[in-house]
Chains A and B, each alone.
Chain A
Amino acid sequence: MTDVTTQPISGAKTVTPAATRRKTSRINGPAIVMGLYLLFLLLPIYWLLNMSLKTNAEILGGFSLWPRDLTFANYTKILTDPSWYMGYVNSMIYVVMNTVISITVALPAAYAFSRYTFLGDKHLFFWLLTNRMAPPAVFALPFFQLYSSVGLFDTHIAVALAHCLFNVPLAVWILEGFMRGVPKEIDETAYIDGYSFGRFFIRIFTPLIASGIGVAAFFCFMFSWVELLLSRTLTSVDAKPIAATMTRTVSASGMDWGVLAAAGVLTIVPGALVIYFVRNYIAKGFALGRV
């Protein structure tokens, strides 16, 4: 299609060598830019991986671009020591809890926002967004006191509820964006066919926005997974997240760099696994469903 429109123009011109040169540089230029940018992104991650495969003696002994004597001792240590791997388990538990809670309450609300106008809807919507803007540092202390007073301190559900502060608004926003894309006629037809609201919502509507739910769940998962300040404040032993466990590597005998790096690499793995499935939607999710 492009050829049809371009040919008359380029045919009228007589600058073939320049045009070809420009064409080749146009193919290579972006590739170089992307190559450099990806290198910039991956180099620090590679360095972490590199460190995690070295012994502490080698890390501190000399400088090398790749591990000379490859060791998995750092990983073995983390995966066999309960005080280490329970950190991952704890994180996983509250992240999953938070995702389930956020999506469950956000679904009906997003439906309401996408389909109906009601008193104060715009203000409510902005108010929800303000919670996404709330600095966790502001909420750390009040959360600590609130959850301590209701006896939820150091439980997974406390962290899951605290993370709802920014994940519920986010889920509502993303889901609302996806729901707007579903034509309203589908709802109306279903109601005429005698579907009740509940049955319509579960049987017909939910499958239609399945990808939206997937994206929203991914973002809840992600933001709960990367957050440290609140999860660290609200836990001490039983529900301690991996992020807080990692500070343990600073001990009297100095920094245990190898184990720290290995723990870091292991925190990247879950994100790297799920990202593949949502790669085409990730921008839409960040745009709060508004692309």
Chain B
Amino acid sequence: MNKTVNQKAWFLVLPVLVLVAFSAVIPLMTVVNYSVQDTFGNNQFFWAGLEWFREMLDSERMWNALTRQLAFSAIILAIEIPLGIFVALNMPKKGFWASFCLVLMSLPLLIPWNVVGTIWQIFGRVDIGLLGYTLDKLGISYNYTQDFIAAWATLIVMDVWHWTSLVALLAYAGLQSIPDAYYQAAKIDQASRWKVFRYIELPKMAGVLMIAILLRFMDSFMIYTEPFVVTGGGPGNATTFLSIDLVKMAMGQFDLGPAAAFSIMYFLVILLISWVFYTVMTNLDKRDGV
């Protein structure tokens, strides 16, 4: 749509600007403030320059948390995106069953995140949970509070359970926008199922899939509540992701300086990766002429 130039439109944006400035810019400035200062209590602050940043860049702890975080995000993206597309391809196209599937699939998305944690905490317990009990009876030793592999597996399955529907819903919406004529043309050309997917469905889904990847990346990168409830970051530090580590540092130990430096770097990493996704996404938008 061709838009008119109108600088007065700024006035319409002003309320949002004020509100978001209050709830984002002021807190962010506090963080920046802490990141360059040191304190010995009594609200006395001393200039510390880039000290904390240097310390955090050298700290084993942050790099380990970052590695775990990247591994987690990569694994769940690798599972959820293909699985979501697969589910979307198998969804009924219209009618009662389509609505039925949509409603049931959306259910996990609306459960408070700590309840998601609680559900899996209960589900995985060897004594009272269906999953834990079954695995135990099958002779597989499974204890997500003690065992490294079990803890990771539980968190990954939980995240797949929680968020695959989002990818599926988006892919489904993309599929719905493909006109019937495309499929008919493919049929006349006797295109194989794979070719229909590769050359018709996938390109048409590209836009929404980018959004799915962007959302899943962002949200998995800031995951806090679910692992906190299920494993509490354990066993040891095996599932201490960036957010958990940060909250531990800031609220638990009150190491404001390092925590603030950590926050800023954390935020910058997310911004950087998201910016790349966003650029690709808007370029796709332009190419489709939306």
A residues contacting B by CB (< 8 A) are 1-2, 5-6, 9, 29-30, 33-34, 37-38, 40-45, 47-48, 51, 59-60, 63, 65, 101, 104-106, 108-109, 111-119, 121, 124, 126, 128-143, 145-146, 161-162, 164-165, 168-169, 172, 180, 184, 222, 225-229, 233, 242-243, 246-247, 257, 260-261, 264, 267-268, 271-272, 275-276, 279-280, 282-284, 286-288, 290-291
Report the nearest B residue to A54, measured CB to CB: B128
Residue from B7, B12, B31, B120 within 8 A of A111 (CB atoms): B12
Report the nearest B residue to A1, measured CB to CB: B180
Given known contacts A38-B105, A105-B16, A138 and B246 CB-to-CB distance under 8 angstroms: yes
For chain B, residues 156 to 179, give those with C-beta under 8 angstroms from any C-beta of chain A: 161, 165-166, 169-170, 172-174, 177
Decide if B107 touches A37 in the complex (CB within 8 Å): no
Decide if A260 touches B30 in the complex (CB within 8 Å): no
Q: Inside 8 A of B206's CB, which chain A residues have their CB?
A: none
Q: Inside 8 A of B23's CB, which chain A residues have their CB?
A: 143, 161-162, 164-165
Report the nearest A residue to B174, measured CB to CB: A291
- Of A37, A106, A137, A272, chain B has the most CB atoms within 10 Å of the CB of A137
Given known contacts A60-B128, A118-B9, A268 and B111 CB-to-CB distance under 8 angstroms: yes
Decide if B104 touches A264 in the complex (CB within 8 Å): no
What string of 1s and 0s marks CB contacts (under 8 Å) between B19-38 and chain A? 11011101110110000000
Q: Which of the segments B55-63, B141-149, B194-202, B220-228 contacts the partner chain?
A: B220-228
Q: Inside 8 A of B278's CB, which chain A residues have their CB?
A: 126, 129
Distance in angstroms between the alpha carbons of A83 and B53 in the assembled complex: 44
Q: Which 5 A-B residue pairings sit nearest by Cβ, starting from the closest?
A: A271-B110, A142-B27, A283-B173, A135-B222, A112-B12
B residues contacting A by CB (< 8 A) are 1, 3-10, 12-13, 15-17, 19-20, 22-24, 26-28, 30-31, 86-87, 89-92, 99, 101-115, 118-120, 122-123, 127-131, 133, 161, 165-166, 169-170, 172-174, 177, 180, 184, 187-188, 190, 207-208, 211, 215, 218, 221-222, 224-225, 242-244, 246-247, 250-251, 256, 259, 263, 266-267, 270-271, 274-275, 278, 285, 290
Decide if A109 touches B12 in the complex (CB within 8 Å): yes
Pairs A–B under 8 Å by Cβ, sample size 21: A2-B180, A30-B89, A33-B90, A40-B161, A45-B107, A51-B128, A59-B128, A114-B1, A117-B3, A124-B17, A126-B278, A136-B224, A137-B242, A140-B251, A142-B26, A172-B16, A222-B110, A225-B110, A279-B99, A286-B166, A290-B290
* Chain B nearest CB, measured from A226 CB (Å): 5
Distance in angstroms between the alpha carbons of A33 and B101 in the assembled complex: 12
Decide if B3 touches A135 in the complex (CB within 8 Å): no
Distance in angstroms between the alpha carbons of A260 and B70 in the assembled complex: 32
Q: Inside 8 A of A118's CB, which chain B residues have their CB?
A: 5-10
Q: Inside 8 A of B90's CB, which chain A residues have their CB?
A: 29-30, 33-34, 37
Decide if B170 touches A283 in the complex (CB within 8 Å): yes
Q: Inside 8 A of A59's CB, which chain B residues have their CB?
A: 128
Decide if A271 touches B102 in the complex (CB within 8 Å): no
Decide if A5 touches B184 in the complex (CB within 8 Å): yes
* Chain B nearest CB, measured from A64 CB (Å): 10
Report the nearest B residue to A274, measured CB to CB: B110
Decide if B270 touches A135 in the complex (CB within 8 Å): yes
Given known contacts A226-B110, A271-B110, A291-B173, A38 and B104 CB-to-CB distance under 8 angstroms: yes
Besides A108-B15, A272-B107, 9 more A-B contacts (Cβ < 8 Å) are: A5-B184, A118-B6, A134-B24, A140-B247, A142-B26, A146-B26, A228-B225, A260-B122, A261-B122
Q: Inside 8 A of B215's CB, which chain A residues have their CB?
A: 286
Distance in angstroms between the alpha carbons of A100 and B166 in the assembled complex: 25
Distance in angstroms between the alpha carbons of A47 and B120 in the assembled complex: 10
Distance in angstroms between the alpha carbons of A38 and B16 in the assembled complex: 39
Decide if A37 touches B87 in the complex (CB within 8 Å): yes
* Chain A nearest CB, measured from B24 CB (Å): 5
Report the nearest A residue to B91, measured CB to CB: A34
Decide if A33 touches B87 in the complex (CB within 8 Å): yes
Q: Inside 8 A of A132's CB, which chain B residues have their CB?
A: 218
Distance in angstroms between the alpha carbons of A268 and B1 in the assembled complex: 40
Report the nearest B residue to A105, measured CB to CB: B15
Decide if B123 touches A44 in the complex (CB within 8 Å): yes
Distance in angstroms between the alpha carbons of A111 and B264 in the assembled complex: 32
* Chain A nearest CB, measured from B213 CB (Å): 12
Distance in angstroms between the alpha carbons of A244 and B102 in the assembled complex: 30
Q: Inside 8 A of A116's CB, which chain B residues have their CB?
A: 3-6, 9
Q: Inside 8 A of B5's CB, which chain A residues have their CB?
A: 116-118
* Chain B nearest CB, measured from A232 CB (Å): 9
Given known contacts A30-B92, A118-B5, A246-B118, A60 and B251 CB-to-CB distance under 8 angstroms: no
Q: Inside 8 A of B12's CB, which chain A residues have their CB?
A: 108-109, 111-112
Given known contacts A44-B119, A137-B224, A279-B102, A128 and B107 CB-to-CB distance under 8 angstroms: no
Distance in angstroms between the alpha carbons of A141 and B112 in the assembled complex: 22
Decide if A137 touches B128 in the complex (CB within 8 Å): no
Distance in angstroms between the alpha carbons of A37 and B4 in the assembled complex: 47
Distance in angstroms between the alpha carbons of A113 and B3 in the assembled complex: 9
* Chain B nearest CB, measured from A253 CB (Å): 16
Decide if A226 touches B112 in the complex (CB within 8 Å): yes
Report the nearest B residue to A265, measured CB to CB: B115
